[in-house]
Amino acid sequence: MLNRSMPAWVLLLAIASGAWAQTPAPAKVTAPVPPAVPPAKVAVPPPAVAVPVSTVQRQLVKLEILPPQVNLATRQSRQVVSVQATYADGITEDVTEKSRPRLSNAALARWEKNTLLPVSDGACELVAEFGGRAVMVPVQVTQAAEDRPISFRLDVMPIFMRAGCNQGGCHGAARGRDGFRLSLFGFDAEGDHYRLTREFNGRRLNMASPADSLLLEKSAAKVAHTGGARIVENDLYWNSFVRWLDADAPNDAATIATCVGVDIFPKNAVLNGKGAGQQMVIKARYSDGSDRDVTHLALFLSSNETSAKIAPDGQVTAGERGEAFVMARFSTFTVGSPIVVLPRDYQFVWNNPAETNYIDKLVDAKLQKLRITPSGICSDEVFLRRAFLDIVGTMPEAEDYKKFMTSVSPKKREELVDELISRKEFVELWVLKWAELLQIRSSNQMSYKATLLYYNWLQDRIARNVPVNEWVAELLGASGGTFKNPPTNYYQNETDILKVTENVAQVFMGMRIQCAQCHNHPFDRWTMDDYYSFAAFFSQIGRKGADDPRELVVFNSGGGDVRHPVNNKVMQPKFLGGVAPDTAGKDRRQMMAQWLASPENPYFATNMSNIVWAHFMGVGIIHEVDDVRVSNPPSNRELLDELGKKFTDYKYDFKKLVRDICNSQTYQRATTTNASNELDGRNFSHASIRRIKAETFLDCITQVTTTRNKFPGLPLGARAVQIADGTVSNYFLTTFGRATRETVCACEVRLEPTLSQSLHLLNGETTGNRIKQGDLVGKRLTEKKTPPEILEEIYIRCLARKPTDLERQKIMALVDVETDKKKALEDAFWAVLNSREYMFNH
Amino acid sequence: MNTLITLLAMTIPAQGEKKVNYQDHVLPVLQAKCANCHSTDKKRGGLVVTNYTKLMEGGSSGVVVKPGDPSNSSLFNTVAHKVEPFMPPKSPKIADAEIAIIEGWISAGAPETSGSKVMAVAKKEIGLKSVVRGRPEGPPPMPSKPLPQEPVTKTRRANPVTAIASNPWSPLVAVGGLKQVLLYHADTQELLGMLPFPEGLPTVLKFSRNGGLLLVAGGRGSATGKVALFNVQTGERITTVGEETDTVLAADISPDQSLIALGGPSKMLRVYNTADGKLVYEVKKHTDWITALEFSPDGVLLATGDRSSGMYVWESFNGREYFTLRGHGGAITELSWRQDSNILLSGSEDGTVRQWEMENGGQVRSWAAHGGGVLGARYGMDGRIVSAGRDRTVKLWDGNGGAVRSFEALPDLALRATLTHDGTRVLGTDWTGQVVEWTAIDGKRLGVLAANPGSLADRLALAAKELEKKQAALAPLLVQARQADDVMKQTSAAINEVVALQKTMPPQIELLKAGQAKAKAAKDALQSSKTGLEMDAKGREVVLLELRGMLTRLKDLAQKAPADKALPLAATRAQALVVLIEQEAAPVATKLKELEPSLARETKAQTDAEGQLAALTVQLAALPKRLVDMQAAQKTATDRVKATQVLAQQAQVDFDVAKAIVDRLKARQATVSTQPAKAAGS
């Protein structure tokens, strides 16, 4: 810090509060300087559609009874009924009470609050009337007087999840709690039955007097229970326990129906103001074709309690404005519905922004639903810098700036995108991205030569724009020597069957299925069966040495199985979320590779699109990109699906996808926010401010200071993005979060700003020394450029804009008083490099 | 507010007719609601509420009870949800009545007992002075006074029976039922009566070493745990010890009857003095629930085992560690000492039964007893071992672990097993609540002891029905026996006949033979005279023929030679001779004729005799075989008689037993009805 003259700090402040800093700044800026650039270029168009939202004017467009059909079979059945009204402006309302739903034959069932209970057999209609509309759904009552035989799996096990007994912090812990263990989220019903009935005989169940069972007394906190009261005496759960005990605590026959799917109603809701409610209805479908209302057995969760709180009975209550995903977990399924909460009778004017392509249409549709006005379009200067950084990972050169700014073509942004996509730096940037995900790094197992060959193979595929599905299939199905056929290195890098399985799922499908190794995934649909069936594809990888001791030959051994750890059964290969193919006599990996990178795999195209999207928008539609799960829904499902569809239609040519994204208005929005979108971080209503990735940042500093880098194994002047080996790094790259490629996690690339990063830029070798080494200022002075000209070049090189008048005036005032112009200008250069505007992509 | 408190303070004691106090009113509330965290085991926040002194000391955040000032007592404030943290956590507020008790108690100055001073614990006479080790003097310890006959609880089915004990000196078997202990007679499987255990489910039953006392341990899960002692002869409860906040899982009484040891989910081994119920020592060493413990028969050592395979041996009187026994790989389910106190037997969920010596604490022997886990393993008085396990069987072993017998598999997990005092019978219990009794010698099933018996009236009705059944079974058997007897008698008579024949026939034959000989002689004589006569006649005829021929020739000659005078003479003489001879022949022919009938008679007589003789001989020859056959028939008949008699006798015995049971039950009913019903839960 001391090698800088005092004015340099003042300079830094001047720049820090410059044009860009009008967005919420990471730290308080002391000198308030008025914005040099107009806040937004957008002239808000006159309101085209003024949405009337006052209660009186709202127009009913749809009335719906949920669920769409009521089946009551046996005395134990029940059905929660909810009536949802949808208005023209998208607002929904739970009108269950107002619509007074009733049966056309009242003798068939009776009401208990909003729940229908069977009385006698027959069929009739359930009718609801509201706002001048009537709607009806069929009701079928069968075996109303008969008891359904109690089942441990269907009736008792769900209670443990609903009441929270088998969660990880309680009895679901690996060693149980207070001496009693249940399987985590009920993945092992057989074991749970054993532990309840026969592990500790005479304690947990009182077969003589069921209601005195410790199971019940503890659950209802009639005796001391660390977990407190989870059920209430004589409630539904209590009675199910008693019924099971009265039947002598039977286990189920092997033929017992299993839950094959769960439906949640309504599919979405837009709630009007704090306090508005919505009853959720959950139905489970079973393998025997029956269905049941399990609203009382499902476990409800909300992704955003502040906006939409959900009670244990499935009643959603709106809170603050926002979006929430309310979920219900039952059996091994998690289902959810998006809930939007708006301020009551919110007055909103949609400004009808321009739309370039399908992306804008879908993003705007969502924004409109959320009543968010998007930010305007960014300036050409901002776009230029953003496009360069995102597409090719460099700063625009002065010539690029000039060319673009002087262009009069109405399609100049589109042209720029096309030009950048065809540059070789574009390829390098994506090779880097993939090298991170494929963990290309030398290690004790993997020689440097293999690493290099692997990297070159990847680079070749991307440079030739080989469709993603083709090279992914080639990679995962690869056999042969790691030198002769480099993609086989994928299987040298990681030799553990389960790790390979998890990596493939995480990288190519965006799914973290690790949980399912030991228990059913608590927040997703994956069961242990799914996990081990998928792992079975990787159970027949043969590996043997080659002539060169550094080389390994990967081949299909044709033998080997994966066993389920609970029941020790051999698992047949089954695609994750797909079918079980006949793999007899075939290379399992090749089958898997073909399926994985094909439209049959519902996750591949969307996941790839999401990765690309996240690169350009700073945040994925699903965030994190490798955390796809039911309980982490996409912020805009329609958009994600459309991107996936387009990607498939484009034959997996991702350059086309990049073009679509970069040409969209969504991508080109300003970072400046307005009152309605300042809190939005997931719906792309404004551009996000992003730290630049370590490699790109180093390249940019190198570029603007006209210096050169030397990395091991690469020629002098090579760029950091070209480093093939993940183990190669330097202090700068490590500080700025270069991925070590030790895992496939998207979190390997660290983008959080840290103190050591700031200090390194302020005091470290990278800025000061490079300014001296590159001697840009010196050269320009020799070229007899005036200080204001030099300052302008520095600004253009670093920030892709000219200094504002105020900046120019302030800086020149400091430069003018300095006799050593070179030193003064270099100080200004240093200050620019340390400005947040430079450090961030915005 | 003050009036309210006064009001409460006045109303509450009225219920118990005692001044509201810690011991009688507050402790039950705290025990039920707070003891899970604030007991001597956990001391959450440094606070113990189950002990008056400790409660008054307060917790780590200071005093919680300020006598006379509930609003400044955090005990009251937290349970009344007036001050955070609300207690008990994560549960609804406790009942207002209970809060009122606490409030009233604090207002009243927080007295410990109704007398506001330490209650003197009455010393219990449990026969410490007269304890006899080994076989007790006098008759075998059996209930001598009428025991309660009505079950404390009658439930839909029995619980898995985890508690069973057989008296070491008498055929008395105790079986744990819900809130009661059932006493059975091992020889008759007869229910002698019940001992009420209102504390909950008995988890442990142990007879004292001299058989005079019965220890009953158990309680209510996560609420209370107690150990009670009963006098076997009178059925009276002598004392109750323990202040566990969860059910007791293991307990025993020392052979000198001075100590009671107990353990359970608190993981603490606690040893109480039987005389005054005071804690003698406690040991915090087990890392999991204590599931088994037993004093050595000499009283010197105490063995304990826990749920995660931990096993220790302590010095009984001070709780000093004596041995750590390592080896088992699963929960210890039962511990049992050999009578000489030298060998400890342990059963474990790891499937093995092991023996340990007490010189160095080493493992002597280990054998795989039950696949899936051993749930019970006990020594009998004779040094043999019985075990029960998850393979649903009860097994009998010799003292060295040699398999003697595996009894018929039970319907579900076999939980416990025990040998009776004399080692002749084995009892096993299972998960469905069955208690089955077998003979040790051949594994014959003797009967089932109900762990969930009906009321006396029900039992009597059942017994009467049984008696009827027995009678119905007996009647035809008696008829059968009588019929069989008749058959046998008939057979015997027939045999006697034959034997007589055998005796009478030979003289008959002799007689016949003589007759025949006589007839033969007569016949022969007749024959010979006949032959003589015939020969005489024949000779005459020959002579006559000669003479006639001669005569003819003479006549011829005379004709031819009339001259010859001699010739006619000769012819005349010859003629005369012929006449003479012919004259002589006539009587002979007559004689012959006369002879014929007698000859025929004698011949017939002889033939007849011969025929008779032959028939008799055949008959006589056949007699032995006939005799053998008849003897076989007689044996069959005898056997049948015996068999039917045995059956009938058995049925008779059954009938008598059933009748005796009915009689006894009737007698009991009579006693009960004449005696004022004793409070079952006293």
State pLDDT tens for residues B198-222.
999 999 999 999 999 999 999 999 9
Mutation to test the A interface, candidates B98, B153, B159, B390, most A Cβ within 10 Å: B159
* A221–B91 CB contact, under 8 Å: yes
Asked whether the beta carbons of residue B221 and residue A223 sit closer than 8 angstroms, the reply is yes
Binned at pLDDT 50, 70 and 90, residue B309 comes out as: very high
Q: Is A466 exposed, middle or buried (0-12, 13-18, 19+ CB in 10 A)?
A: middle
Q: How confident is the model at residue B131 (pLDDT cuts 50, 70, 90)?
A: low
User: Band of the pLDDT at B545, cuts 50, 70, 90?
Assistant: confident
Which residues from B are below 8 Å from A when comparing CB atoms? 32-37, 88-92, 153, 155-160, 162, 177-178, 201, 203, 220-223, 245, 247, 265, 288-289, 307, 375, 390, 413, 415, 431, 433, 452
Q: What is the arithmetic mean of pLDDT over B451-463?
A: 90
Q: Which residues of B touch A214 (CB under 8 A)?
A: 221-222
Cross-chain Cβ contact A179/B288 below 8 Å: yes
What does the pLDDT average to over B151-162? 91
ipTM, 2 dp: 0.73
CA distance A121 to A116: 13
Q: From the CA of A218, how many Å to the nearest CA of chain B?
A: 8
Question: Which of A203, A214, A245 best tests the B interface by mutation, with the highest count of B CBs <10 A?
Answer: A203
C-alpha–C-alpha distance, residues A304 and A316, integer Å = 11
Residues in chain B: 682
Distance of alpha carbon A639 from alpha carbon A626, whole angstroms: 18
Residue A38: is its pLDDT beyond 80? no
Do the chains contact at B201 and A202, CB–CB below 8 Å? yes
- Closest partner residue to A201 (CB to CB) among B178, B247, B431 is B431
Nearest to A208 among B157, B375, B390 (CB): B157
**Dist CA B197 CA B181 (whole Å):** 7
Closest CB from A208, A228, A246 relative to B89: A228
Residue A4 — pLDDT band, cuts 50, 70, 90? low
Q: What is the pTM of this model?
A: 0.74
A202 interfacial to chain B (CB closer than 8 Å): yes
Q: Tell me whether residues A246 and B34 touch, CB distance under 8 A.
A: no
Phi and psi angles of residue B398, each rounded to the nearest 5 degrees, phi first: -80, 175
Better pLDDT: B353 or A748? B353
Give which of B156, B247, B370 to mutate to test A binding, by max A Cβ within 10 Å: B156
Angle of the A6-16 helix axis to the A805-817 helix axis, nearest 10: 180
Give me the percent of chain B exceeding a pLDDT of 90.
Answer: 43
Q: Is A235's Cβ below 8 Å from some Cβ in B?
A: no
A242 shares contact with chain B (CB less than 8 Å): no
Query: Which residue from B92, B222, B415 is facing A201, i.e. has the nearest CB?
Result: B415
Residues of B in contact with A207 (CB under 8 A): 157-160, 433
CATH of domain A259-342: 2.60.40.1080
Of B36, B155, B433, the CB nearest to A225: B36
- For B445, residues 6+ apart whose C-beta sits below 8 A from its C-beta are B408, B436, B437, B438
Res A26: pLDDT:
38
Question: Looking at beta carbons, which residues of chain A come within 8 Å of B154?
Answer: none
- Distance separating alpha carbons of residues B215 and B59, to the nearest angstrom: 36
Contact assignment for B159 to A206 by CB distance below 8 Å: yes
Residues of A in contact with B162 (CB under 8 A): 201-202
Task: Name the nearest CA neighbour of B422 among B161, B173, B235, B190.
Answer: B173
Mean pLDDT of A111-139: 93
Chain segment A289-322, per-residue pLDDT in tens = 999 999 999 999 999 999 999 999 999 999 999 9
For residues B302 and B316, the answer to whether their CB atoms sit within 8 Å is yes
> What is the reported pLDDT for A429?
94
CA distance B434 to B94: 40
Question: Which of B89, B159, B222 is facing A218, going by the closest CB pair?
Answer: B222
Chain B residues with CB under 8 Å of A204 CB are: 221
Q: Does A164 touch chain B (CB under 8 A)?
A: no
Q: Which residue has the tokens 């069932």?
A: A109
Task: List the domains of chain B with CATH numbers.
Answer: 2-107 (no CATH), 164-454 (2.130.10.10), 463-674 (1.10.287)
| Average pLDDT over every residue of A322-350 | 91
Residues A244 and A312 sit within 8 Å (Cβ to Cβ) = no
pLDDT at site A21: 40
Q: Is residue A31 predicted with pLDDT exceeding 90?
A: no
SS3 call for A48: coil
How far does the CA of residue B89 sit from the closest CA of chain A (Å)? 7
- Please give the residue that has the higher pLDDT: either B367 or B25: B367
CA–CA distance, A333 with A329 (Å, rounded to integer): 6
- Which residues on chain B are in Cβ contact (under 8 Å) with A211? none
The distance of A249 to chain B (nearest Cα, Å) reads: 11
Say if A203 is an interface residue toward chain B (CB within 8 Å). Answer: yes
Q: Are A490 and A480 in contact (CB under 8 A)?
A: no
Residue B10's φ and ψ, nearest 5 degrees, are: -80, -35
Beta carbons of A224 and B90 less than 8 Å apart: no
Residue B674's pLDDT is 53
For chain A, give every residue range classified as CATH 2.60.40.1080: 259-342
Question: Smallest CA–CA separation between B34 and chain A, in Å?
Answer: 7
Please indicate whether, in this complex, the C-beta atoms of A209 and B433 are within 8 angstroms of each other.
no
pLDDT of residue B39: 84
* Stretch B512-519: mean pLDDT: 86
Task: Give the residue from B79, B201, B290, B308 with the most A CB atoms within 10 Å of its CB, the best one to mutate.
Answer: B201
Instruction: Give the span between the Cα atoms of B651 and B472, in whole angstroms.
Output: 10
Distances (CA, A) of A728 to A432, A631, A697, A782: 13, 37, 16, 38
**CA gap A187, A624 in Å, rounded:** 26
Q: Do residue B222 and residue A202 have CB atoms under 8 angstroms apart?
A: no
**Rounded to whole angstroms, how far apart are CA atoms A513 and A526?**
7
Best CA proximity match to B235, nearest among B258, B212, B209: B212
A788, amino acid identity: P
Quick one: pLDDT at residue B555?
A: 81
Of the candidates A218, A224, A246, which has its C-beta nearest B245's C-beta?
A224
Size (chain A), residues: 842
3-state secondary structure of B536: helix
Separation of alpha carbons B444 and B439, rounded Å? 5
Instruction: Tell me if A209 and B178 make a contact (CB, 8 A cut-off).
Output: yes
Cβ contacts of A165 on chain B, cutoff 8 Å: none
User: Which range among A3-7, A61-65, A346-350 shows the weakest confidence by mean pLDDT?
Assistant: A3-7
How many Cα atoms occupy the beta-carbon half-sphere of B292 within 13 Å?
31
Of A165-174, B315-324, B343-352, B665-674, the range with the lowest mean pLDDT is B665-674
Q: How far is A78 from chain B (nearest CA, A)?
A: 28
Q: Is A217 on the interface with B (CB under 8 A)?
A: yes
Q: Does A50 touch chain B (CB under 8 A)?
A: no
B221 vs A218: CB contact, 8 Å cut-off? yes
Exposed e or buried b for every residue in A671-701, given b needs 16+ CB within 10 A?
bbbbebbeebebbbbbbbbbbbbbbbbbbbb
